[in-house]
Amino acid sequence: MKFKRILQPIHYYMFAAVLGIFSLAAVVVGNAAGIPVDLPARFELSEPRVVILKSARKLHLFDGSSLVRTYDIGLGFNPVGQKIVEGDGRTPLGRFRICTKNPDSAYSRFMGIDYPDPPAASRALRSGLISHGEYSGILTAHEQERCPIWTTSLGGGIGIHGHGAGSDWTAGCVALDDHDVEELFDVLRLGDPVEILP
């Protein structure tokens, strides 16, 4: 009987150790395969980047080439296609960067992207939507890695924010649930890339 009482705790600790080793192996293998893994509530990434798939209503957070998180999103109220002008309700397509962060936004958190970008400005100049001065201002802002003017006919103030991913309700922004945007806000830095795909 004494031996059984001694062996029971030993068996418990051996089981716990084996379980811990398997859990660690699962995290390492999952991360190497690019499978999202459970990370601490607050975490840091060395090369954060965002890829948004409009048609799937998903925002993918990567660290370099490794997928870290996938979030549900809502888009502009008229989400299909490229954003052309202010008020069209479309979320723009293209490659952008985070150019501003506001922790006290009316929409929980806000991370603005540098739209309108040079491709949008070129299209708008050719079609007569913006002046040469506005075009030059957008290009200069892009070269200096800062937010462009947001008051042209192209619209602006586009970003990633909170207040709900359940529907397409924004004026062109990407909306997440509040707890998701808070997590994303802590990870993304000014200058981090944001790619928005159809």
Classify residue 40: in a domain, yes or no.
no
80-101 residue pLDDT tens: 999 999 999 999 999 999 999 9
101-159 residue pLDDT tens: 999 999 999 999 999 999 999 999 999 999 999 999 999 999 999 999 999 999 999 99
Q: Is residue 58 domain-shared with residue 11, that is, in the same domain?
A: no
Residue entry with tokens 């989400």: 79
Q: Is residue 9 domain-shared with residue 55, that is, in the same domain?
A: no
Q: Is residue 26 domain-shared with residue 62, that is, in the same domain?
A: no
3-state SS assignment for residue 140: helix
Q: Is residue 125 domain-shared with residue 27, that is, in the same domain?
A: no
Pick the closest to residue 69 from 36, 46, 41 (CA basis). Answer: 36
Q: How many C-beta atoms lie closer than 10 Å to residue 126's C-beta?
A: 10
Range of the domain at 67: 48-197
As for how many domains the chain has, the answer is: 2
Q: Is residue 25 domain-shared with residue 56, that is, in the same domain?
A: no
Classify residue 38: in a domain, yes or no.
no
